[in-house]
Amino acid sequence: MAGLSSFGKYTHAIVCCIPDSLGTRPAKDGASEGQPEPVDLAKAHRQYGVYTGILRQKLGLQVIELAADEGLPHSVLVEDITVIQGDTALITRPWEPARRGEISSIKKVLEELKMRVVEVTDDGATLDGSDVLFTGREFFVGISRWTNHRGAEMVADTFRDFAVSTIPVPGSCHLKSFCSMAGPDTIAIGSSEAAKKAIRTMEQLTDHHYDTLTVPDDPAGNCVYVRLGPKGSALLHRSPEEFPSSQQPFQKLPDLTLIPVACSEVAKLGGTLSSCSLLINKKLDR
């Protein structure tokens, strides 16, 4: 399959710099009881620097940084905005209307990279990139507070070469709040009831067998798998300082270079490791 042959191969990453307003923004779900835990802004900047350094130096990617937007704290969660597979980018319909400016910036970069850009224009569709899991073979789309069935249909309409299945996601979570790909045929999954139910549904809906890597903490189920060419593959995963009990399962992946990364501060806004960048495989012009 074309998707599988290029799965995990990337040349570029789009990220957004941390705005100072990140430290004053309430939790993304907007429905948390009591006061949300405040963001440590200095720590957020440090974590961003480490993350982008890993993308450049350890993964060898060309990193494109969008300027910080003080009026748009959630702009750091760039995965919300776009679903990318191959040379096609589907611009989603984010939950904050104010993010249209961010969409324009990301769209401009994608067009400069000569990507095929498609936009969700159906007013009845809602779609968040953090609800879309591409396995290299097919798409799973979480039906959540952020994404509806019409949004999932837009994924199917855009990426017609791949099967698209929908997975119910309860509460204010995204599908990728507790799962991700930890290799071409391995799904990392958390241990909550929602995560267990989601993986059972995936297994029922797919014709392919995926291995599962179960971690005790749901947020640790969100990883970033990257192929490094002849040098092998790497897996970015949440750090032992954040989730010590979830480190041992990753040792079952001896063929991968394991790279622990902390993102505790953007996580306070509902962010994950994968939501902090858009990864692109830009084929060189012939």
Domain definitions of the chain by residue range: 2-280
* pLDDT recorded at residue 17: 95
Q: What is the pLDDT of residue 95?
A: 58
Q: What kind of fold does domain 2-280 have according to CATH? A: L-arginine/glycine Amidinotransferase; Chain A (3.75.10)
What's the Rg (C-alpha) of the chain?
A: 17
Q: What pLDDT sits at residue 286?
A: 35
What is the structure's pLDDT at 94? 65
Amino acid at 162: F
Low-confidence ranges of the chain (pLDDT < 50): 27-33, 285-286
pLDDT of residue 71: 86
pLDDT of the residue at 32: 44
C-alpha closest to that of 166 among 200, 197, 205: 205
Kindly list the distances between the CA atom of residue 165 and the CA atoms of 8, 179, 235, in Å, as whole numbers in the listed order: 21, 15, 25
CA 234 to CA 256: how far, in whole Å?
5
pLDDT given for residue 231 in this prediction:
74
